[in-house]
Amino acid sequence: GARLIDGKAAAAQVLAEVRADVLALQAQQLTPGLAVVLVGEDPASHVYVRNKVLRANEVGINSFEYRLLADSSEQEVLDLVQQLNQEAQVNGILVQLPLPAHIDENKVLQAIDPRKDVDGFHSENVGGLSQGREVLAPCTPAGCMRLLHDHCGDLSGKHAVVVGRSNIVGKPMAALLLQAHCSVTVLHSRSVNAAALCRQADIVVAAVGRPRMIGADWLKPGAVVIDVGINRIEEDGRSRLVGDVDFDSAVQVAAAITPVPGGVGPMTIAMLMRNTVTATLLQQGLAPDHLSRHSLSPAPTA
């Protein structure tokens, strides 16, 4: 059977590092601040925002919560982002997605000061990641990289297969793996022979949104499997969360695997806290290696 990659424990480790970094900053009269903007009544979004605020407070980051009504205009949201861009106590700005349909998500994300863009979705940061510059990287892929580095050490030369090509997970994941010197294959809904391609991978990152799609027949024996998927299904008359990987069969073949829940999920929030500290350093003109471990994407090489 595979080794279990414990995302809860890894997240606790990251949060402890962040807490230490926040204390070091506070000794210099700097307390990082995170603003979270929520528009509308989506119940899942409310839970996510509450968890982010709680986690921020636990590590000593100031949190500022802004709740706008579902029928707020695009201009109202843009005005709030502008105001937060100007506020010195706000080092990170997170606009919880999805936004109501009448608001242009991209326009709102582009309005965020790239140095406060703790989700890493501004085109300045997306482009910088692709160019191999040190930028704020999206939290979920950054969390997957941390798990991979913790469990595999050096990733250079490994063949990584990313299943899924979303802007939030798949594409930035591929960019980060490339920067860690992996050979990278990206599979998606139009891929032909996806299972056969995936069977060549040393590392598999699944970000598809299809319950248990990736079974043992997709995996090379000894592969390391990171399951980003979070899918709610009804089974045996009850509701439960499963990943994009068929855990029970994959665990027989893989060398190491993340569970769902308790794998990538807890890492995402921890990396958001890490990014908020990194953003604070960027705004202060301090080098990120000033503190324990930074979340900037690794330095480029040819």
Interacting residues toward ligand NAD by CB under 6 A: 140, 163-166, 168-170, 187-189, 191, 194, 207-210, 228-231, 264-265, 268
Looking at 7-101, list the stretches that DSSP marks H as alpha helix, in order from N- to C-terminal side: 7-26, 43-58, 74-86
Q: Which residue is nearest to ligand NAD (CB)?
A: 166
- In angstroms and rounded to an integer, the radius of gyration of the C-alpha atoms of the chain is 19
Q: How far apart are CA 270 and CA 266, in angstroms?
A: 7
Q: Are 38 and 49 in contact (CB under 8 A)?
A: yes
3-state class (DSSP) for residue 211: coil
* Closest to 95 measured CA to CA, from 86, 87, 238, 74: 74
Q: Give the shortest CB-144-to-ligand NAD separation in angstroms.
A: 9
> 215 phi and psi, to 5 degrees?
-100, -175
Q: Which is nearer to ligand NAD, 30 or 266 (CB)?
A: 266
Q: Give the shortest CB-79-to-ligand NAD separation in angstroms.
A: 28
Q: Which is nearer to ligand NAD, 109 or 281 (CB)?
A: 109
Q: How far apart are CA 280 and CA 64, in angstroms?
A: 15
Q: Give the shortest CB-181-to-ligand NAD separation in angstroms.
A: 24
Contacts made by residues 231-235, CB under 8 angstroms, sequence distance 24+: none
Residue the block writes with tokens 């469990």: 151
Q: Which residues are catalytic?
A: 52, 96, 119
Q: Give the shortest CB-172-to-ligand NAD separation in angstroms.
A: 10
The DSSP code for 61 is: -
* Closest to 146 measured CA to CA, from 96, 95, 205, 215: 205
Q: Which is nearer to ligand NAD, 194 or 291 (CB)?
A: 194
Q: Which is nearer to ligand NAD, 145 or 228 (CB)?
A: 228
Q: Which is nearer to ligand NAD, 181 or 199 (CB)?
A: 199
> 119 phi and psi, to 5 degrees?
-85, -15
Q: Are 256 and 151 in contact (CB under 8 A)?
A: yes
Q: Give the shortest CB-56-to-ligand NAD separation in angstroms.
A: 16
**Distances in whole angstroms, Cα of residue 191 to Cα of each of 11, 109, 204, 231:** 33, 30, 15, 22
Q: How far apart are CA 266 and CA 218, in angstroms?
A: 26
Q: Are 59 and 25 in contact (CB under 8 A)?
A: no
Q: Give the shortest CB-19-to-ligand NAD separation in angstroms.
A: 21
Q: Which is nearer to ligand NAD, 30 or 163 (CB)?
A: 163
